[in-house]
Every structure is written in structure tokens, then in C-alpha cells.
Chains A and B, each alone.
Chain A
Amino acid sequence: MLFFILRRFAVMVFTALCLTFIVFFMTNLYPNLEKLAKSEGNFRMDDAAVASFLDNRGYLDPLPIKYGRWLGVLPGYVIEGSDGKTRGQCFERGTDGKGAPRFCGVLQGNWGFSTVFKDNVGSIVATRLSLTGVLMFWVMVLMIPTALVLGVVAGMREGSRTDRTLSTVAITTTATPEYVSGVIFIAVFSSSAFGLKWFKGSAATAMENPTFENFFLPVVTIALYGMGYIARMTRASMAEVMTAQYIRTARLKGVSFGNIVMKHALRNALIAPFTVIMLQFPWLLNGVVIVETLFNYKGFGWVLVQAAGNNDIELLLAVSVVSVVVVLVTQLISDIGYVYLNPRISVN
């Protein structure tokens, strides 16, 4: 087991390195750097000015070296620029770099400086991630129990009218992407045209003070899309368990239907949904980006859009590291959890 986890961990680190390198490569393509230079310096710079701007800040060095610097395995650049000023990657902003460390990459805990927000990437990601954490928490609270109940109720009598109705509901929610359900919810529940105005169409105030009124719509919007999928998986797994021999034995012994479902079927039926729920996290991340944009909730997804839209290289790298780690860790947890829950499976 320990070996299994260690091996998975190694693969995880390797994947994260590959992915960040790809992001690094894409964001460091010359047109992207040119855009960055023009937005950082001024928009009327000619090509030569752009080149010297980039050169003075180490952007034009070979890609592997830049990547090594970002990672913190190579010493940060110290360049005496063409304008006579000496700049260094590890210098504090606005100082001449006396006593600056040689290495300042991710391994040293330095995530860089965001060009959009003019702040340290580490602190931006931390605050935004905690906001998204609140959102995700409520999504989970709403989504998982509802989905499991829907799936179990639908799957316990396969083919019944309840099953048909609930399955159609589940299919409908999986067919509704967040930007569709969000728009419909806002239009129906918060626009003046429909006149209901039960909820707020913007979650901007929910960042300091989440209330039912301003937070319910974004939570429901994300939860709905993931819910149908989990419910369908639960239903399939429940329906399969209900045809198993030991359930038939229990029925023939005269155990009541409620007891069969609660005591015999449920535990085995919930193994499959567990992995599905874990693997839903990466999808939820997608939903978070859409919903945060739609409801103007300035969390992690909103930062992703800002960073990607403005080619904020270091912020974008941090964002992708976080999301990749989320994906890989949930995969790992789902694999390990599966082994623990299902005694018939062994890791080898």
C-alpha cells in the first residue's frame, strides 16, 4: 500500500512538472510576451523597445532556464539592463537587491508577482482559494446528499415510475451546463421582467457576507450540473446491487424492504458513487470558473479568467499548479478510498 501511494505520488509530481512546463511554454510564446510588455510598459512601444524591455527582465532567456528559475532550481536572473538599471528576479520590489537570495522559485515558497493585481501571487491565490472553498463547501453540502438520495430512490425499484421520473430529472440536469442554468435562474428568480426577485443575481456581496439570498443561486447552479451525473451512477450501482443474490436471500427470509435497502444494499451501492464524487472535483472546478464569472464572485475561477485573459504568467502558473494538484489528489484519494471500501479489490 505504501509503495502504491509513493508511486502514485511520484507520477503526480511528474505530471505536475509536465503540465506547468506546458503552461510555461504557452505563456512564454513571443506574441504573449509582447502583449505583456506592452501592457506593462506602454502600448506605443515599438518592436525594439519591446525586445529590450523583455531582455532586461530575463524573458528572452532560453525556456528551460526560465522554467528552472521559476521552479527555484536555478539561480534567479540578475541583469544589468540596457537602460543601466540592474534588475534581479529575487530583488525586493524597488530595492537594489542587497542581501537578496540567489534562488527564489516555487521551491523556496516564492510564487512570483502578479502583473494584473500588482501583488504577490501566493497571497492572491490563498485569499481567492478560500473564497472558492466556501462556495465549494456549500455546493458539496447541497449536491452530495441530494444526488445520493435521488440515485438510491431511483435505483431501488428499477423500471418503476419513480425511477423513470427521477432518471429524466437526472438527465436534464446533466444536459444543462452552468452558463445555461445560471442564466435561466437569474432571469427567473432575480430579474425585474419576471418580477419574482427572490434572490440576488450577483454574488459580489457574498464574498464578505454570504447569505441565503445572495449565495443560493451560484451554489445551486454548480450543484445541479454535477448532481445528475452522481445520481445516475448511484442509480446504476444501486440497481445492480438490488439484483444480487444476497438481496434475494434477504427478501426470501422476510426482511422488510426498508431494512434491505438501509442495511444490506446501501453500503455496497455507495462504493461506486464515492469514486465518482471524487472525480467530480475537476469538473466542479470548471463550473466554478463559469459561475464565478457569471455571478461576479471573485474567487479562484475568477482569478483564472483574469490571469489567462491578461497573460499574467506567474499567476497563471500558480493557478494551474493548484488545479492540477486538486485533480491529481482527488484521483489518488478516489483510488485509495476504492480499495478501502471494496475488500474485493487489491492495489496489486
Chain B
Amino acid sequence: MELLSWGEIAIRSVTQLTPVWVALIITFFVSIRYKRSLGLYGKLFDSTVGMIGFALVMFWVYTGLFSTMFDLIATHDPLSQVSGMKNKVPGTPLRGAESGDYPYYLWGGDNLARDVFSRVMIGSGIVVMIAPLATLFAFMVGITLGLPAGYYGGRLDLVLSFLANLILAFPVILLFYLLVTPEIRMTGMPQYMAVVLFSFPLIFFGVLINSRYYIDPMKRNILMVVILGVLGWLYLSLINEANSKVTLFNAIDGFDVDAGLLTVFVSVVFVNSPTVFRIVRGLAMDIKTRDYVAAAQTRGEGTWYIMLWEILPNARGPLIVDFCLRIGYTTILLGTLGFFGLGLESESPNWGATINEGRKLLSIYPHPALPPAIALLSLVLGLNLLADGLREESLKD
């Protein structure tokens, strides 16, 4: 078989991504059709920048979803090496292809003779799974600590701000090297940090429910048991792992998370939360002087009620915008970890690691390193544009 031309490669890549295009078109069609009844999300479709950003983000979300969950997009196994395909240029026919195999390496082979196209597509699954989740955890930590710091001020604020500045003064990469090496993992350090950091969502939801429904104990108790039960089980399954430092809850351990993945997750949450803390603290300090807060205080509402049900909803605009930006930043951090070969095992097709591997032969074979680099760029760019569109639209009213 012949080498594919660039045009053919483009056409075949686009065809391979058909499920993504279909999903994207449906999403946009439905959203634009009903945009007047969808609140801030619907308003996003009034701004061109916001729409472009949203399209880029959703492209990768769908790609990640379809390629990891349904095995639709990738043409080959991201880990299998095919002899004779090492560093082959894009469009090379697969050597010894049997019927049922996809007959080409669309974007070429990397230095271990694996398919670049499949690796990039499957790598997106890792990013779109970890980055939003880690950002969400960082927000939980930042909100739970930032609200009281901003609301009460005083000594509590002093101590928490000092701690936040302490973490922020670390160069991120040094912190990663200190947290993510295999030796540190042996000491159980990341797991202990997970125990602390992952408890914040529990605290957050516990306080959230209690402050709202403490006047109706029956309802509160039911809600508490259901929500905290589920979250608590997730929490214990997450932190607990057989043959590690935290094995107290083996009996109810629902699932195991790869130790490297957990370490990466913990360190990304750890690095992000001080910044979120500072933002929330600043917003809380600003909002606590408003009249509706004074009204709630006069009504005799509890302080946690005021913080979580008066201040937090009114800080949502800037927080949503920052959430988008921060997912982008988390994506960059994940890439940085991969770039330095930290955390996930080197086989894993995450973009950072793929870039790192590709850069070694960059001046001769640029094709393995460029696709993940451009993929990462487009995802982060999409998130930034999305945040920009959201900011513009939320400022309009």
C-alpha cells in the first residue's frame, strides 16, 4: 500500500472523529434552540468567543469520552508496538495488517512504534477526567477555608493566609518533585495528604446541609445520611488501598485508584487550592459588607448559613469564570508533570508524557511531539476563551 497524502490523512482523521462531530452538532443545535431558557449557559451562545471556546472544550470532552468509554475513535491500541512502524511518518500503511486492523498509522508512529493518533485521542480522556475533578476538589478546599477566613478575618485569616502564601512561594516544579517521586510514595505521604484534602468536600456538604436545614431536623438527617453516606463511601474507597499505608477500611473499599494517579491528583489539588482560597477570601471580604448580609445577620442567621447561602451564591460569577480558567491551568500542570516524567507511568498516553518522549527526536521526527502539543494548546485555549465569553456575558446584566 502507498503512503497517504496529506489530504487523505486529513479526510481520514475527520472521518475517524465522526461520533464527535455528531455529538458536537447535536449539542450546539439543542443549546442554540433553547438558549433563552438556559440561563448563563444559554447566554454563552450569544458571544462568538464563548462559542468557539465551548466548541473546542466540548470537542475534547467528547473525544475523551468516546475514545476511553466506548472505544470508538482510536484506530489502534495506544500501548501496543508494531514492528517496523518506529518513527514512521504520518500516513504510513500498517505493516502486516490483518483484516480488522485499521490499515494506516494516520499520524505516524512514535519512537516505540505506537500509533500517535490513538495515543493523542486516548490521552484526552485522561485530561478531561482528571483536570475538572481536581479543580473541583481544589475549589472545595479553597471555599471551605476561604469563606471563614474572609468572613471572620482576624487571627484565623492571618494563619490561613500565611499557609496559603507559604505554598504559593514554592516553585511548582520543586513541589512536584518533592511530592511525586516513587520514594515519597513509599512513605505514604500522598495518601495522608489525600486523607486531609479529600475530606473537604465532606465537610463542605455537611456544613452546607446543616446550616440550611437545622431547623427541620428530620429532613436534615435524611439528607445528611444519604449524601454523606455516598460521599463518605467514595472518600474511604479513594483514600484506602490494600497494601499501602492506609488500609483501615479494606472491608468497604469499593474501588482502587492507581497509586500514581492518586499522587498526581493530590499534588495538583494541593497546588491549586491556595489560589482558590485567596480568590474566595477576597470575594468574601468584599461581599460581607453588603446590605443583604447585614440583613441576614439582623435576622439572626448562623454564620455558616450566611457564608454558604448568602455570600457564596453571590460570588458565583467570578468563581465560575475562574473555574474554567483553572481547569486550563490544571491541564497545564498535568502536562508539566508528564513533561518531567513524574506521576503516571511512562507508558501512559497522557499528553505531557507524550510530548516529553517526542521531544528527544524533535529535530528529526517532529510528528510524534506536535499533535499532543497542539491538542493541549487547543484545549487550554478553548477553556480560556470559554472563560472570557462567560465573563463578558455575566457582566452584561
Contact = CB atoms under 8 A, between A and B. Distances in A.
B335 interface: yes
Interface in B307-326: none
A151 B172 CA distance: 27
B381 to A, nearest CB: 4
A323 B174 contact: yes
B366 A194 contact: yes
A29 B166 contact: no
B174 to A, nearest CB: 6
Contact of B171 (A168, A175, A186, A289): A289
Interface stretch (B26-34, B217-225, B370-378): B370-378
B204 interface: no
Contacts of A327: 168-169, 171
Contacts of A23: 174, 178
Interface string B338-377: 0110000000000010011011001111110110011011
A216 B363 CA distance: 16
B174 A319 contact: yes
A171 B385 contact: yes
B183 A184 contact: no
Given A175-B377, A190-B363, A289 B173 contact: yes
A176 interface: yes
B100 to A, nearest CB: 32
Interface string A148-179: 00000000000000000000100110111101
A35 B179 CA distance: 16
Contacts of B374: 180, 184
Max chain A C-beta neighbours (<10 A), residue from B162, B174, B365: B174
A311 B183 contact: yes
B340 A293 contact: yes
A19 interface: yes
A29 B187 contact: yes
B170 interface: yes
Contact of A26 (B172, B184, B328, B383): B184
B208 interface: no
Nearest to B325: A174
A179 B171 contact: no
A328 interface: yes
Given A15-B169, A29-B183, A308-B178, A179 B352 contact: yes
B56 to A, nearest CB: 10
Given A175-B377, A177-B335, A304-B173, A31 B370 contact: no
Contacts of A187: 362, 366, 369-370
B332 interface: yes
A294 interface: yes
Interface string B229-269: 00000000000000000000000000000000000000000
Given A191-B364, A193-B364, A290 B177 contact: no
Contacts of A324: 169-170
A7 B164 CA distance: 19
A171 B168 CA distance: 23
A184 B355 CA distance: 10
B144 interface: no
Given A32-B183, A324-B169, A180 B363 contact: no
Given A179-B335, A193-B367, A308 B385 contact: no
Given A183-B355, A187-B369, A177 B183 contact: no
A192 B373 contact: no
Given A175-B384, A308-B177, A30 B187 contact: yes
A19 B365 contact: no
B63 interface: no
B211 interface: no
B156 interface: no
A205 B169 CA distance: 32
B352 to A, nearest CB: 7
Nearest to B328: A175
A52 interface: no
Interface residues of A, number: 52
Interface string A2-41: 0000000001000100110011001101111011000000
Interface in B175-234: 177-179, 181, 183-184, 186-187, 189
Interface in B382-397: 383-385, 388
Given A26-B178, A179-B339, A285 B171 contact: yes
Contact of B166 (A18, A31, A316): A18
B297 interface: no
A179 B353 CA distance: 11
B373 A183 contact: yes
B166 A19 contact: yes
Nearest to B367: A193
B165 interface: yes
A62 interface: no
A174 to B, nearest CB: 7
Contacts of A176: 377, 380-381
B273 interface: no
A31 B187 contact: yes
Nearest to A170: B384
Contact of A183 (B166, B369, B388): B369
A8 B184 CA distance: 33
A40 B41 CA distance: 59
Nearest to B381: A175
Interface of B: 49, 162, 165-166, 168-174, 177-179, 181, 183-184, 186-187, 189, 328, 332, 335-336, 339-340, 352, 355-356, 358-359, 362-367, 369-370, 373-374, 376-377, 380-381, 383-385, 388
18 contacts: A22-B166, A26-B179, A29-B187, A30-B187, A31-B183, A171-B381, A172-B381, A177-B335, A177-B336, A179-B335, A179-B355, A179-B356, A179-B373, A180-B377, A194-B366, A201-B362, A289-B173, A290-B173
Given A30-B187, A282-B169, 20 more contacts: A23-B174, A27-B178, A29-B183, A31-B183, A171-B388, A175-B380, A177-B335, A177-B376, A180-B335, A180-B377, A183-B355, A187-B369, A192-B363, A201-B362, A286-B172, A290-B336, A305-B173, A308-B178, A319-B174, A323-B171
